[in-house]
């Protein structure tokens, strides 16, 4: 298939940022609608564990690919093609299978790729589902929001991989991993498994326990953990000031995360 590298494809992106309305939907664990795809329902911890956490991480990594993973930096300005086109046009059959499995994992819809038309369509008749360059960025962004990928304060300290194939894919996500490592060094919390995050929330939260915590979505888990961390830091700062420590810049626990 011939691809004109200088041809500029038009893309339509509905979401220009994480608005207050979208934040509330994420906090409430509600679905977010993507044009021509439908409502994307965030998975709960129970659902992720049921399908397998390693599988979840593998498929989530698909939504971290950027143009830089396909085009050398010096040619980025010249190549006007959207990410979706690059994913289809410059990947092998194994990657395309991985792409279909990742989409199926987060939507529950089995899909096939129409390479000549640069479309992803459902295997079964579903006139309301169609992924193209016009809505892929919205679809990708919603998955990232729902799973904490765009959050620099994600406290997991990096993802763990089950096999070499998963690791090879993940190694391409240098930018995302560097942000995670930077935050980990800043917080100086050492290696932290995701199970540690869940356990900490269940033990420290005022309203959750080891039975109810698994009903949370990934966004809710990270939000709860960060808020609890803010509360702890605020209380420690106030106690230190009461004992004579200098400073009046204690960040209140209700501050913006």
| DSSP letter, residue 175 | H
Are 184 and 64 within 8 A, CB to CB?
no
CA 62 from centre of chain: 10
Contact between 110 and 124 under an 8 Å Cβ cutoff? The reply is yes
Please compute the mean of the pLDDT values over residues 30-55 and round it to a whole number. 95
For tokens 């304060």, name the residue.
153
The sign of the torsion formed by the CA atoms of 163, 169, 39, 41 equals positive
Structure tokens at 110: 């089995």
Residue 109 is assigned to a structural domain of this protein = yes
Structural domain including 143 reads: 20-191
On whether residue 248 sits in a domain, the answer given is: no
Token readout for 89 is 């046009």
State residue 237's pLDDT score: 62
Q: Looking at residue 68, what is its pLDDT?
A: 84
Rounded to an integer, what is the distance from CA 92 to the centroid of its chain?
A: 24
Q: How far apart are CA 82 and CA 9, in angstroms?
A: 7
Structural domain includes residue 253: no
The angle subtended at Cα 184 by Cα 21 and Cα 235, nearest 5°, is 70
Quickly list H helices, the chain: 20-28, 45-51, 53-60, 83-89, 93-107, 136-146, 164-170, 174-187, 194-204, 218-242
The answer to whether residue 198 sits within a structural domain is: no
pLDDT band, very low/low/confident/very high, at 167 (cuts 50, 70, 90)? very low
Is residue 153 pLDDT above 80, yes or no? no
Contact 65, 83 (CB under 8 A): yes
The angle formed by the CA atoms of residues 176, 225 and 194, to the nearest 5 degrees, is: 55
Which residues contact residue 183 at a Cβ distance below 8 angstroms, ignoring those fewer than 6 apart?
152, 153, 154, 155
The total number of structural domains that make up the chain: 1
Q: Between the ranges 77-91, 99-113, 167-181, where is the mean pLDDT highest?
A: 99-113
pLDDT digits over 92-144, tens only? 999 999 999 999 999 999 999 999 999 999 998 888 899 999 999 999 999 99
CA angle (58, 60, 63) in 5-degree steps: 125
pTM (2 d.p.): 0.74
Q: Give the residue-averaged pLDDT of 233-240.
A: 60
Provide the token pair at 36: 């021509």
Please check whether residue 231 lies inside any domain of the structure. Answer: no
Has residue 75 been placed in a domain? yes
Looking at per-residue pLDDT, the higher value among 14 and 27 belongs to 27
Report how far residue 99's alpha carbon sits from residue 88's, in angstroms, rounded to the nearest whole number: 9
Please give the mean pLDDT across all residues of the chain.
78
**155 within a domain of the structure (yes/no):** yes
Dist. CA 209–CA 198, nearest whole Å: 10
User: Is the pLDDT confidence value at 206 over 60?
Assistant: yes
Which has the higher per-residue pLDDT, 192 or 117?
Answer: 117
């Amino acid at each position: 298939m011939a691809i004109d590298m200088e041809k500029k494809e038009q893309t339509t992106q509905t979401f220009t940022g994480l608005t207050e309305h979208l934040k509330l939907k994420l906090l409430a664990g509600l679905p977010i609608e993507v044009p021509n795809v439908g409502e994307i329902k965030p998975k709960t911890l129970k659902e992720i564990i049921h399908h397998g956490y390693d599988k979840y991480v593998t498929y989530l990594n698909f939504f971290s690919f950027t143009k830089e993973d396909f085009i050398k930096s010096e040619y980025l300005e010249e190549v006007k093609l959207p990410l979706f086109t690059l994913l289809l046009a410059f990947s092998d059959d194994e990657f395309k299978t991985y792409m279909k499995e990742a989409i199926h994992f987060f939507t529950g819809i089995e899909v096939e790729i129409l390479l000549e038309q640069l479309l992803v369509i459902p295997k079964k008749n579903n006139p309301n589902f169609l992924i193209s360059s016009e809505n892929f960025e919205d679809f990708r962004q919603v998955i990232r929001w729902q799973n904490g990928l765009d959050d620099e304060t994600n406290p997991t300290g990096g993802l763990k991989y089950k096999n070499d194939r998963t690791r090879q894919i993940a190694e391409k996500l240098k930018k995302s991993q560097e942000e995670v490592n930077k935050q980990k060094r800043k917080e100086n919390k050492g290696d932290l498994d995701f199970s540690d995050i869940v356990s900490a929330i269940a033990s420290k939260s005022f309203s959750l326990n080891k039975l109810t915590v698994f009903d949370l979505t990934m966004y809710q888990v990270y939000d709860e953990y960060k808020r609890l961390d803010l509360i702890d830091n605020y209380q420690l700062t106030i106690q230190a000031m009461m004992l004579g420590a200098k400073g009046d810049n204690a960040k209140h626990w209700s501050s913006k995360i």
